[in-house]
Amino acid sequence: MNLLSGVNKAVPVDGRGRLKADNSWKAALALLKEPKKFLQDLLGFKGEVDAGNVKLWNFDANREQIADPEFTPDRLKKASPCASGVCAWIINITKYYDVVTEVEPKKQAVREANEQLAVANEKKRVMEELVAELNAKLAILQASFDKAMKEKADAEESAARSARRLDLANRLINALGANVELWGAAIVDIGKQIEVVVGDVLLASAFVSYVGPFNKKYRDMILNDKFCNYFTDRGIPVSPEKNPLAILTNDAEIASWNNEKLPSDRVSTENGTILTNSDRFSLIIDPQLQGITWLKDRFKNGNLQVTRLSNKKMVSTIE
């Protein structure tokens, strides 16, 4: 009721606009007879605070009650959920008012500081214009001097620059002439590669995805009898050699694998190609321990850790 004094006309006030204590309870009962209107008055109270229509004493009259440790929404909720909500509203709107009254002077101070800054910036602008005018006069004199010196330097540099350009042009012409045939052949090769790139990529993808679990006999059968026939029957352009390794790797990379103790036979090379071109970690069935030997040598400088299920320290090693 104190908060609504002077704001809600249904709240009785004295000549100073403060709550009449003797009529407060009756007035409260009258307000509560219309719950929807009372709720709308509470919801619109923030706007009254923002407009400056609520006096300081409206809030000060409740501060002793708010400071009471018994005056909390949780304690009142046991008696009445509605009273708990009103309690929370009183506490929160009081905090909001305190923030507004504390922030507004600071905003005013900021506005005053900005006005002072604007005055100082204007003085600075005037001085900068004066300095710019003097610098412009100095620049004219300096430009005249620089122009004379530049004309002298340009005259000395012109012959040397022309000679350098002529030399570079001759070198470029000679270089281009020597590579005409090479470029022509490269264009032809690239044109042929573009025609079969879709088929080559499809063949390489199928190779990596499907042939890994099989030995050489079945790999050759899948590649030659299945994949290649599929491409031929459907007219899919593909390189004549139909070799996935030529698409997925190169001789230099294969040589580096061999140096890392991977056997040089076709199946081992295919295994290395599949492993290095797979998005997921490959499962290696390795009865001859050729794969683990290669991996240990390949990652020996990468802090490789080797463990097994029977190792008591397996968990700590993985961690």
Which pLDDT score is estimated for 305? Answer: 87
Tracing tokens 């100073």 back to the chain, one arrives at 16
Class of domain 249-319: alpha beta
Please report, for the chain, the start and end positions of each structural domain, with discontinuous segments joined by +: 21-109, 249-319
Share of the chain above pLDDT 70, in %: 75
pLDDT digits over 145-199, tens only?
Answer: 888 888 888 888 888 888 888 888 888 877 776 666 677 776 776 777 787 888 8
pLDDT digits over 54-76, tens only?
Answer: 666 566 666 667 776 777 777 77
Q: Are 2 and 55 in contact (CB under 8 A)?
A: no
Which pLDDT score is estimated for 232? Answer: 84
Please state, in angstroms and as integers, the Cα–Cα distance from residue 26 to each residue in 19, 35, 38, following that order.
12, 15, 15
Dist. CA 159–CA 131, nearest whole Å? 41
pLDDT band, residue 47 (cuts 50/70/90): low
The CB density around residue 163, as the number of other CB atoms within 10 Å, is 10
Which pLDDT score is estimated for 85? Answer: 73
Nearest Cα to Cα of residue 181 among 172, 170, 189, 171: 189
Which pLDDT score is estimated for 255? Answer: 93
The helix-helix angle for 56-67 and 81-178 (nearest 10°) equals 100
Which pLDDT score is estimated for 35? Answer: 65
Dist. CA 118–CA 5, nearest whole Å? 43
pLDDT digits over 188-239, tens only?
Answer: 767 777 878 888 898 889 888 888 898 889 988 888 888 888 888 888 888 8
The one-character DSSP state at 10 is: T
Phi–psi pair at 59, nearest 5 degrees = -80, -40
Which pLDDT score is estimated for 53? Answer: 61
Q: DSSP per residue over 40-97, as a string?
A: HHHHTHHHHHHTT-S-HHHHHHHHHHHH-TT--HHHHHHH-HHHHHHHHHHHHHHHHH
Q: DSSP per residue over 254-272, as a string?
A: HHHHHHTT---SHHHHHHH
Which pLDDT score is estimated for 304? Answer: 87
Collapsing DSSP to helix, strand or coil, 306 comes out as coil
pLDDT at 81 over 70: yes
Q: What is the mean pLDDT of residues 246-269?
A: 90
Tell me the residue type at 54: V
Give bridge partners of residue 19 from the DSSP assignment. 13
Dist. CA 117–CA 113, nearest whole Å? 6
Please state, in angstroms and as integers, the Cα–Cα distance from residue 291 to each residue in 44, 218, 268, 306, following that order.
77, 20, 8, 13
Mean pLDDT of the chain: 79
Q: Is 87 exposed, middle or buried (0-12, 13-18, 19+ CB in 10 A)?
A: buried
